[in-house]
Every structure is written in C-alpha cells, then in structure tokens.
Amino acid sequence: MKKKFFFYSSLVFYILLLGVLFYFTFVRDNAEKHDKIGAVQEVPQTTTSAKAEVCTQKNVLEFYYYAHDYPLWEPNNKYGMYIYPENESFFEIAQNLVNSSGGDWGYVLIPYNMADRDYDKWNRVFEQLRNKHLIPIIQLWDVNLDKYKKQTQEAANFLNSFLWPIKYRYISVYNEPNDSSFWYGKTDPAEYAKVLNYSIEIFKGENPDYFMLNGALNTSAPSDGKHIDALEFMYQMNQEVPGIFDKLDGWASHPYPQPNFSGSPTARGRWSIRAYEDELEYLTSSLGVKKTLPVFITETGWAHAEGENYNGSYPSVETVSEYFKTAYKDVWLSDDRVRAVIPFTIWYQPPFDHFSWINRDRVPYLHYEVIKKLNKIKGNPPVIKSDEYVVSGC
C-alpha cells in the first residue's frame, strides 16, 4: 500500500516538475519574444525631417515624350533650306536663316543614301537638329532597284533608331522619278508606284509617326524620251497601284520659276512657283483623291548670275532677292496648303552653284541676307521633351 502511494506521489511530482520546466522553457520565453517584437512595431513615428535624414536613397527615371500630336500644328514656321548631312557647318547656317527674325522650328531637307548605315554620323545629325530647332525632311536617294525591298526595310529601321526632334518623321520617297537622269536612265511610272507603295507600307509598319511624301516630280518637263509629263506620270502610277496617292500623308512638289529658272514670282501654271496648284487639282479632279494633302515644297528657287563663273543668262542676286521676297509674302506664306518651303540649295559645286545661297567660302549671297531679315514666327511643332520621375528607394 505504501509502495503504491509512493509511486503515485512520485508520478504527480514529476508531472508537476515537467510542467514548470515547460513553462519556463517555452511559454515564458515566447512571451518575452512577443513583447520584444511588439516593442519594435510600436516605435513612435519619426518626424518628416527625421525621415529625410534616415532615408536618402532614390531612383531617378528619365523619360521622353512629345509636346502634342497635331500633325498640322499652328503656328508653323514655313521657312526652310536644302542642306547635306556631311557638312556640320550647314546646320548652323540654315538655322541662322530659317529661325531668324523671331522665327523658331523651321525646316531643312536632307538627302539620305539608302545604303548609308553610319550610325555616328546620323546620330550627330539628329543631335544638331534637336539642338538647333530644325525639322528634317529626309529625302531617300540612290536605291538599288534589285534590292529595294531589303534596303527599304533596313533604312526604315535605321532611321527609326534615332531621337527625332519632333513627333512626325518626314520621308520623301526619292526625287523627280519622271526624269530619267534621276531614275537610273529610264522613266517607269509603274515601277516607281510599286516602290513608293512598298516604302509607305514598310516605313509606316516600322513607326506610324513616319509622315510619307512622294518623290516630287519635274512639273515643267515634257514627255520627250528623257522625261514623262508629270500629270501623265501620275496617271500611270495610279493605274499600276490604284489609290496610291491616298496613301500619302503629304504632297512634295518642285515648283520652279521657268523658263531658265528665271520666271516671274507672280506667274501661274506649271512653269511657275505655283505649279503645286495644278498637281493638287489633277489629284482631286482626275485621280479622285479624297485626302487634303498638305504641300511640302522640297525644291524651288531662282538661279542667279553670280557664281564661280558669271552667267548672264540668269538674273542678278539683287533681282533674285526681290523675287524671293515677293514669293514668300504674296504666295507661299499666304497659302494655307503650303507647310514648308525649301529652296535649292545652301551650296553646290559648279554649275549648280548659281542656285546656292552661300559661296564656297561660306559667305552668304544677298538673297540670304534679305530673307534672313524677313519677320518669321515661332513654330509650335510636337517637339521632343524630357522629364524625370523620382522613385523612393525606402
């Protein structure tokens, strides 16, 4: 009996002892840990200034955007100049002309060889365009017709890799294809229509912000074996690719003052600086184009007698200066259809130096100085802008 009592008493004792050890080992220890965690969570909030001292880490994300997306923005500075990408000084000379006398965001036309993949050169070109507030119209040239599809794809991708100064990326698809001297010794409207159609599709597919223009035609040339009349050329293009002109975003035109690049600025018709009017009329009345195509005059201007060799068949620079003043004030600036006027050319070797606005030594001719003084306006294109977004690292 005593043994049984001792056994049960010992068993109860050991059970109680184990309970005490369990309490101090697990329950109390966990309770203390819980109290410590609660103390950390309940630390009083620091002040704003204290937080700034404690947390200084931040990430800055730079991003780009365009000011707006109006393709026919106003006001629009129509003044422009034909330049070349290889000569960096031309950009400043053009800027000093087209953005002078209150102007900003004028235009330049720049030829682009379809085999050119010189990234560093074109990166410098686009950097200058942004810095000098110049809107580029890139004119394609020198395509290999046997490889035009491949070259078109590569060119669209290459040009899209740069940071353009405004949202819209103007592309003029080659130059005067109705003149055999500019289209590989032949005039082939059906072939050009297919090339133009393919170019529009590829460039637009690469980036919908590409703004596609035709290759301006020689409007004063007759059908003579070396040329095809511009309107007949347009008709045959539309026969080959019906509706080709409705695929354009704008109309490129070369309205030169004929005859002999010396005609009056007040003349009308296809031999005048208003030749684009005849082209637009033919597009709508004869070819059924429904779009209202803004006009980009990608070449125009008078030849002057002065040059490395004097040519008296052309008017003097004094006369040419007055012609240009009249043309801008009474024709181009007052015509809402015209978006840009780009005279040919800033400078070219003889015999085309008679079209130049500066001489070989970079000295401006008189008409450069006269047009520079004309009042201009600040354009409001959808320019590229940058901003920063700050993300706290705490």
- Segment 3-14 shows an average pLDDT of 43
- Note whether 35 and 73 are same-domain residues: no
Residue 242 counted as domain residue: yes
- Note whether 231 and 288 are same-domain residues: yes
- Per DSSP, the residues of 225-281 read SSB--HHHHHHHHHHHSTTGGGG-SBEEE----SSTT---TT--STTSTTHHHHHHH
Residue 393 counted as domain residue: no
- Note whether 161 and 278 are same-domain residues: yes
Look at strands 210-213 and 251-253 and give their pairing: unpaired
394 burial via Cβ count (<10 Å: 0-12, 13-18, 19+)? exposed
Residue 132 counted as domain residue: yes
> Is 90 exceeded by the pLDDT of residue 14?
no
Average pLDDT of the chain, as a whole number? 89
Q: Beta-carbon neighbour count of residue 382 at 10 Å?
A: 18
Percent of the chain with pLDDT over 90: 82
293 burial via Cβ count (<10 Å: 0-12, 13-18, 19+)? buried
> Is 50 exceeded by the pLDDT of residue 138?
yes
- Note whether 280 and 199 are same-domain residues: yes
pLDDT at 11: 45
- Note whether 230 and 325 are same-domain residues: yes
pLDDT at 57: 76
Question: How many angstroms separate the Cα of 195 from the Cα of each of 2, 190, 257, 302?
Answer: 117, 9, 29, 31
- Note whether 119 and 8 are same-domain residues: no
- Note whether 332 and 367 are same-domain residues: yes
Residue 384 counted as domain residue: no
The model's pLDDT over 361-384, given as tens digits with 9 standing for 90+, comes to 999 999 999 999 999 999 999 999
pTM for the predicted model, two decimal places: 0.85
The model's pLDDT over 233-290, given as tens digits with 9 standing for 90+, comes to 999 999 999 999 999 999 999 999 999 999 999 999 999 999 999 999 999 999 999 9
How many domains does the structure of the chain reveal? 2
For 360, the domain range is 64-373
What is d(CA 371, CA 261) in angstroms, rounded to the nearest whole number?
A: 19
- Note whether 113 and 14 are same-domain residues: no
> Is 90 exceeded by the pLDDT of residue 26?
no
- Note whether 197 and 131 are same-domain residues: yes
- Segment 214-232 shows an average pLDDT of 97
The model's pLDDT over 224-233, given as tens digits with 9 standing for 90+, comes to 999 999 999 9
Tell me the CATH number at 361. 3.20.20.80
- Note whether 252 and 303 are same-domain residues: yes
What is d(CA 199, CA 267) in angstroms, rounded to the nearest whole number?
A: 35
- Note whether 137 and 12 are same-domain residues: no
- Note whether 256 and 182 are same-domain residues: yes
Residue 55 counted as domain residue: no
Residue 379 counted as domain residue: no
> Is 70 exceeded by the pLDDT of residue 59?
yes
- Segment 162-178 shows an average pLDDT of 98
The model's pLDDT over 110-136, given as tens digits with 9 standing for 90+, comes to 999 999 999 999 999 999 999 999 999
pLDDT at 53: 58
pLDDT at 58: 79
User: How remote is the C-alpha of 372 from its chain's centroid?
Assistant: 24
Residue 315 counted as domain residue: yes
pLDDT at 13: 45
pLDDT at 54: 64
Residue 238 counted as domain residue: yes
The model's pLDDT over 237-249, given as tens digits with 9 standing for 90+, comes to 999 999 999 999 9
- Segment 64-91 shows an average pLDDT of 97
